[in-house]
Structure formats: structure tokens, C-alpha cells
Chains A and B, each alone.
Chain A
Amino acid sequence: MQFFLKIFLATVVLSLAIFFIVLYDSMAGNNLQNVPSEAVQGKMIFQKKACIECHTVFGNGGYYGGDLTKAYEKFGSNGLKEYLTQPPLLSGAKKKRHIYLSNEEAEEITAYFRFLQSIPNMDWPPRPVYDRKEEPEVK
């Protein structure tokens, strides 16, 4: 069994080494851009309000409220601020509204969405198959 133990331990060390080296490469250099301070504040609000429980970012989170990775492109700065400061009813609800944010909070969270939009994530989420010709390409 000593032989199998050696193979197993070598696999553990090698896999961990490859994983962390590739992760370092993914984050080092200019791979990740700096986050503007207003976007950092917006991310804090996003986390404090636990938005991730209903919405997804990069496709991860709650699946009922839709993905917000490209929300800035879809709704624009004014559209987002209006939605957050004058929240509409939730889908399927007659009384319950989307969470309310103050003007300042809405401003900061919009900055966060603007930053999210700029992250090169291989254009995910994909544009709808039957919408592609009508909408502009994502840079």
C-alpha cells in the first residue's frame, strides 16, 4: 500500500500546486482591473442588502430575480437608479415591492453594476438567439 500512498500524496501536492499557480496567473498582472472606490461601496451595499439571495452575478446566486452581470447595459444608469429608488411590485405580488435604496445607495450600486459590465467574462450571459441581429455587439 506504500506505493498507492505515494501516488496519492503526489497527486494531492501536484493538483494543489497546479490549481494555485493557475489561479495566481489568472489574477496577476493586468488580468484583473482595479475596482473604483464608488464601485467598492456599491459592492458593499449589494452584499449588505443580500441581493445575491434573489439575483445572480456571473450566473451565481438566486435564480428568481435574474442576472445582474450586464444590468448596466440593459437598463442604463438612469433606469437602474429609478428602479431602485422607486421600486416596483415583485413579479407575482400585489403588495410586496422590490427592496428600496436611497439616492446615494442607488448611485453607488449603479457604479458597481457599471464595473461589473466592464469585466471581460467572455460575454456571458449569452444574448438571446433570436435577438442577436437587432442588438449591438458587446465590446
Chain B
Amino acid sequence: MFRSQHLSYKYALFAYFLFGFQGLVASGGAIDLLFPDLGNPIPFAAGRAFHLNVSIYWPLIGMIGAIYFFFCQEAEREIYSLRLITINFWMLAVTLVLILGSLLLGFNEGREYLEAIWPLKLATAACTILLCFNLLTTYLGSDMPKSRATLISMVTGSVTLIIFYVPNIVSYAHPTVDEIAKFMVVHIWEEMSLELIGTGVLAALLIQVTNVKRQAVETAIYLDITFAVLAGIIATGHHYYWIGVPSYWLWLGGTFSAMQVLPAIVLLYTTLKSITFKGISDLSDRDKITMSLIGSSMFYHIVGAGFLGFLMAYPPLNRYVHGTYITSAHSHLALFGVFGFLVLAVCFHILFTEIILVKKMYRWCWGAIISLNAGLLTMGLGLLIAGGLQVYFWRVIGLGIGETNEFIRPYLFIRAFGGFLYAIGSLTLTFVVIKSIWPKIQVIFQSEGRISTVKYDDLNRIHGLVEELLQEQKKIEPMLKRIQVLYQRLRLFTKEK
């Protein structure tokens, strides 16, 4: 293992901590919306801004950890600067803590998802610059083929993080320009930059876990990332339909959004091609959890992001469904469903590379995954129905906001119940991870060295070999008995003689 990989543990652990925390925060917000008189100490606006910022930063932090972990593995060398990996982590962690603290204190720039004050956005941009510098220098110094698809997708994804974040450090006087800039992060980060990084990380993980041949997936990765760029950037247009830009964006946004299902299909095809049922049954317990989280991510990629996103981006339909809870359903299914599950998968894999998870904890992990999926689907369903009713009441019969809110309240209860299930899942999984990691916490944060003398994959291989040996023993046993009988006969025969 590379030392860079040890340094990425803290990213994965912090991502899990934030993910567990998010379940609590979001449930509080859903309850506050239903019972405004409860006297929540955190104002709703501050709580929602907090929720949105955690939803952007926790997958980002987890994904950066995954980049460091898999990039050195794919480049087959250490990351250029080990010190920068640690500096990058603390910069990101402190920036996020300051962002969340300042939001609670009421420092809010009033732009959805970009509520942090500008110095903290500058710090976020600096973090992405550090990441890119470390990756580019590692890439240039690597002896591996420069066209290796996993390296290319992770580097390109990371560089585009900066390009599209910088215009958002400041706010603009014209609301249309504000919206144009905002969706460079809200859309392009998620549906292009993180898609590229996620594809690279996922491919590296599949190559390691399923032992699929690199050549077999290399072409598919290129196809996937080329489609992701082609569709992802210009499909931003579906967020620009009604913000005051020329009408040609309806055509551009509609056409390129329709193409956005292509990378999802290629990714699904590549994943299915690289695994077999027998391969799955032979996987270790840890890899079964990892693969089930990846499977969940694939499901939401096709259903939540792909299919629902495809329908919603069709301009004549978007005109009516835009600005309702249907968008919220889509963003939950696409943001957490696709990237959340993927980050959980890779971070789980990373954290339990050297640390062995106790057998009985796996049952809790399975329960948490079921609870997360049930929660997310219930939330999505509640929000879809609430949004559908908003479309009917606002856009068809012209009812007011207050009356509509009364009608959709039961479905927001369903959303809150889904959030409750989700929170149970997120807290359980986070508890399992933190409890198992806790004895090694000091090593993770203070040392660059090995945590354990045994790698989980090696242990699992030895376990497999012992199993095989025991199977063989069953075959050998009757043979030994026959030999023993023959030997006894032989002894009797010689004695008689």
C-alpha cells in the first residue's frame, strides 16, 4: 500500500461523520417545516442553508479522499506531495466548519447552495487548486501510460471543479447572471466534474475488487466520460430555460439533456460487464457491502437522475413542473442517490482496507443500507406527489400558496417519515464505521504509517484458501481411510507371513 492511501483515511472518515450528521439536520428541517410553531432554536433559513452546504461538501470531501486513494494506485506511485494531502484535508475541514458555523450565526450570502461568505468560497477554491496541483504533478511524474482512462477522468474532473467554481466566489447585480453562475456548481459540478471523478474512482475500484481486465473497461470508461462531458456541460441549459436568457437555450438544454442518460447506460453496462453472479458470491463481506452501495448508486443513476431528469428537462413539461417539489425529489434522488451512495461505497472500501470489521457488524450495515434506500424512496415519493399537487393547484387551477400548502401537508409528512428512515440508516452506518475505526483514530490522524500488519484483502484470501483446504480435506478423508484399511490389511498380511 502507498503512504498516500493511508493519508486518505481521514477524508473517508470525515465524510462518514458528515453523512451521519446530515440525517439528523435534514430530519430537523423537515419537522420544522411541518410544525413551524415548535420553536426550533435554529431559524429555518439557516438550517436549510446548513443542509444544502453539507450536501455539497460531504460527497466532495469523500470523493477527494477517494481520488487520493485510487489515483496513486492507478499511477502506481506515491502522490507528489504527501504533506499537501494532509494540508488539503485540514483546509477543507476548517473551511467547512467555518461555513457551517457562520451560517448558523446568520452570515448568509443568500444564494442557494452558495450561501457561504466569499472568503470561505475563496478557501474552497484554494482547496480544489491544491488537489489539482497534487494530481497533475503526480500524473506527469507517473511511468504509467498517459492515456490511462482512470487517471485522465480523475484529473479532468478535478480541473473542471476549479473552472466552474471560480465564477461563483462573488455575487452579481443582475439576477440572471447570478443564476447562470450558480448552475455551474449546482449542475456542472454534480453532473460532469463529479461524474468524471466518480467514473475514474469506480473503474479503479472495480478493477481491484472484481479483477476485471483493464483493457476490457478502458474503452468503456472513455466512452462514458466523453458522453458525460458532451452532455453534462451544455445540458446546464435546462436550468436556464426561464431565467431571462434567449430562447435557443430551450433547444440546447433539451437536446443535450436528452443525451445525459447515455453515460449512465454506459456506466451500468461497464459495471455489469465486470461482475458475474459467481464473482459476487465469492466476494468478501466488505466487498459485498461496497458492491451493494454501488448497486444502489446505479439504480438511482438510471431512475432518479437519468429517467426522471430526462422527463423533467423536456421544455414543455419543465414549464409546468419547474419550481415545485418535483425538482426537490429529483435532486434528492440524483444527488444523494447517485453520488451519496457512490461516496459511501468507496469510503467504506477505503476505511476497511486495513481495519477489520467485526462479523456481526455486517448485519447492521445491511440493515442501514435497506433503511437508507427505503428512506430515500419514501422521501422521493412524498416529494413527487407533493410536487405533482403543486403543479395542479398552482399551474392548472390557480390556487394560492397557503391553500396549496395545506393540501400537500400529508405528503410532506411522508417525506419527513422517509427522512426519519434515512436518518436511522445514516446514523447506524456512521455508528458502525466510527465505532470500528475509533481504536485506530489516533493513527489515522497523526501517522502516515501502516495501521495494521494485515490487509483485509489478504486476510480474506487466506480465509478463502483455508476454506478450500477444508473442502479438500473432506475429499481426502475417505481416501485416507481407504489407505488406512489397506495399511492395516498389509500389516496383518505381513504378520501372518
> Taking beta carbons and an 8 Å cutoff, which residues of A are in contact with B?
1-2, 4-5, 7-8, 11-12, 15-16, 18-19, 22-23, 25-27, 31-32, 35, 40, 43, 46-54, 56-67, 69, 90-96, 116, 119-122, 124-131
- What residues on A are CB-neighbors of B241 within 8 Å? 122, 124
User: Complex: how many Å from CA A54 to CA B402?
Assistant: 13
Interface size on B, as a range, is: 35 or more
Shortest distance from the beta carbon of B179 to any chain A beta carbon, whole Å: 6
**A-contacting residues, B421-450, CB 8 Å:** none
User: Complex: how many Å from CA A64 to CA B149?
Assistant: 44
Asked if B273 lies at the interface with its beta carbon under 8 angstroms from chain A, I say no
**Cβ of A129 and Cβ of B323 under 8 Å apart?**
no
14 A-B contacts, Cβ less than 8 Å apart?
Answer: A4-B149, A4-B222, A15-B234, A22-B252, A31-B246, A60-B112, A60-B239, A63-B323, A63-B324, A92-B406, A121-B244, A126-B320, A128-B395, A130-B397
Q: If A11-B229, A50-B110 touch, does A60 touch B395 (CB 8 Å cutoff)?
A: no
- What residues on A are CB-neighbors of B236 within 8 Å? 19
Residue of B with least CB distance to A51: B110
**Cβ of A23 and Cβ of B111 under 8 Å apart?**
no
- What residues on A are CB-neighbors of B327 within 8 Å? 59, 63
Residue of A with least CB distance to B324: A63
Q: If A53-B44, A63-B328 touch, does A32 touch B244 (CB 8 Å cutoff)?
A: yes
Asked if B176 lies at the interface with its beta carbon under 8 angstroms from chain A, I say yes
Shortest distance from the beta carbon of B376 to any chain A beta carbon, whole Å: 18
- What residues on A are CB-neighbors of B249 within 8 Å? 22, 26
User: Complex: how many Å from CA A93 to CA B35?
Assistant: 7
**Cβ of B222 and Cβ of A130 under 8 Å apart?**
no
**Cβ of A61 and Cβ of B218 under 8 Å apart?**
no
- What residues on B are CB-neighbors of A119 within 8 Å? 175-176, 244
User: Complex: how many Å from CA A15 to CA B325?
Assistant: 31
**Cβ of B110 and Cβ of A19 under 8 Å apart?**
no
**Cβ of A63 and Cβ of B394 under 8 Å apart?**
no
> Taking beta carbons and an 8 Å cutoff, which residues of B are in contact with A?
33-37, 44-46, 48-49, 108-112, 115, 145-149, 152, 156, 163, 171, 173-177, 179-180, 182, 218-219, 222, 225-226, 229-230, 233-234, 236, 239-250, 252, 319-320, 322-325, 327-328, 387, 390, 394-398, 401-402, 405-406, 409
Q: If A53-B112, A60-B323, A62-B48 touch, does A2 touch B147 (CB 8 Å cutoff)?
A: yes
**Cβ of A43 and Cβ of B323 under 8 Å apart?**
no
Given contacts A4-B147, A126-B319, 17 further A-B contacts (CB under 8 A): A1-B149, A1-B218, A4-B218, A5-B222, A8-B156, A16-B233, A26-B240, A27-B176, A27-B180, A31-B246, A35-B174, A50-B108, A61-B112, A63-B323, A94-B37, A127-B398, A129-B396
Q: Choose one: B222, B245, B320; the contact of A31 (CB below 8 Å).
A: B245
Q: If A1-B145, A65-B401 touch, does A57 touch B175 (CB 8 Å cutoff)?
A: yes
- What residues on B are CB-neighbors of A40 within 8 Å? 173
Shortest distance from the beta carbon of B115 to any chain A beta carbon, whole Å: 7
- What residues on A are CB-neighbors of B145 within 8 Å? 1
The 5 closest A-B pairs by CB, nearest first: A47-B110, A59-B323, A128-B398, A124-B242, A66-B401
User: Complex: how many Å from CA A91 to CA B324?
Assistant: 17
- What residues on A are CB-neighbors of B394 within 8 Å? 66, 125, 128
**Cβ of B397 and Cβ of A128 under 8 Å apart?**
yes
**Cβ of A27 and Cβ of B111 under 8 Å apart?**
no
**Cβ of A26 and Cβ of B108 under 8 Å apart?**
no
- What residues on A are CB-neighbors of B176 within 8 Å? 27, 32, 119
**Cβ of A4 and Cβ of B219 under 8 Å apart?**
yes
User: Complex: how many Å from CA A136 to CA B154?
Assistant: 53
Residue of A with least CB distance to B51: A53
Q: Choose one: B45, B112, B396, B405; the contact of A92 (CB below 8 Å).
A: B405
- What residues on A are CB-neighbors of B219 within 8 Å? 4
- What residues on A are CB-neighbors of B171 within 8 Å? 47
Shortest distance from the beta carbon of B39 to any chain A beta carbon, whole Å: 8
**Cβ of B112 and Cβ of A1 under 8 Å apart?**
no
User: Complex: how many Å from CA A46 to CA B48?
Assistant: 16
Shortest distance from the beta carbon of B279 to any chain A beta carbon, whole Å: 25
